[in-house]
Amino acid sequence: MELKLEGLEKRYGKKLALDGFSYTFKQGICGILGANGAGKTTMMNLITDNVSRDRGQILFDGKDVLKLGNAFRSVLGYMPQQQGLYDEMSAYSFLLYLAKLKGLQSRAAKAQAARLLSLVNLSDAAHKKLGGFSGGMRQRVLLCQALLGAPKVVILDEPTAGLDPKERVRIRSYIHELAKECIVLWTTHIVSDIESIADDVILMKQGMLVAHGKPHELIDRISGRDLEDVYMHFLGEDDRDA
């Protein structure tokens, strides 16, 4: 199973948000590191076809995802960087609603919603309104949503954004557990999020791939101590909190 990006390009006016980006994602967790503005969300938007590309190809197991259409969408799970929740809905009904949109049968939808909520320790809050959920609880519901329908490609755009360190560790371990059999793309500008659980890491800057490899390979390549050193080596001059 592989997801191959070839020469992807996306322009916003004069701004080249993605500049001939090529990479092949395989099964496992790929951490995508880059400062704000590096093009991470643009890449996710092109893969999910929420935004049209100017150039390049995206192939899932050798087939063009645009041609696959619904067949690709049905194997895709997506947790967008910013997403509103329906505050009046319960976590359970929110998941049922999205499961229906994904085309799941009602029985399967109910079983999956309950199972996913239990896996992220939200069974007790399943029937409470989302409006009263903490940031960490909301992120966990969004993660469940991305995993409905047993997707093969899971795209998580800054899944830990806005979480406190404890919640961050928690959601990280859920992702690690839940997304074992999939191709997982996980963007972040927080190195510690993916340190120790990413199988592969790619570093992006100004819409381009600047380095990729297994965490230990990257660390060895620059004779660094950890991924933080790798980040500083390749992306250090970028403003990390821009």
What is the binding site for ligand ADP (CB under 6 A)? 12, 15, 17, 34, 36-42
CA distance 184 to 135: 22
Q: Closer CB to ligand ADP, residue 39 or residue 215?
A: 39
Chain contacts with Mg ion (rule: CB under 5 A): 40-41, 81
Residue 23: φ, ψ to 5°: -170, 145
Q: Which of ligand ADP, Mg ion, none lies near 17, with the C-beta cut-off 5 to 8 A by kind?
A: ligand ADP
Handedness of CA 125, 144, 48, 200 (dihedral sign): positive
In angstroms, give the least distance from the CB of 184 to Mg ion.
Answer: 16
In angstroms, give the least distance from the CB of 35 to ligand ADP.
Answer: 7
In angstroms, give the least distance from the CB of 156 to Mg ion.
Answer: 11
Q: Closer CB to Mg ion, residue 40 or residue 53?
A: 40
Question: How far is residue 64 from each of residues 5, 39, 49, 102, 183, measured CA to CA in Å?
Answer: 10, 22, 12, 21, 17
CA distance 94 to 97: 5
Q: Closer CB to ligand ADP, residue 51 or residue 85?
A: 51
Q: Closer CB to Mg ion, residue 81 or residue 93?
A: 81
Intra-chain end-to-end CA distance of the chain, in Å: 36
Q: Which two tokens stand for residue 196?
A: 């120790």
Q: Which two tokens stand for residue 182?
A: 């999939």
In angstroms, give the least distance from the CB of 232 to ligand ADP.
Answer: 17
Q: Which of Mg ion, ligand ADP, none lies near 38, with the C-beta cut-off 5 to 8 A by kind?
A: ligand ADP
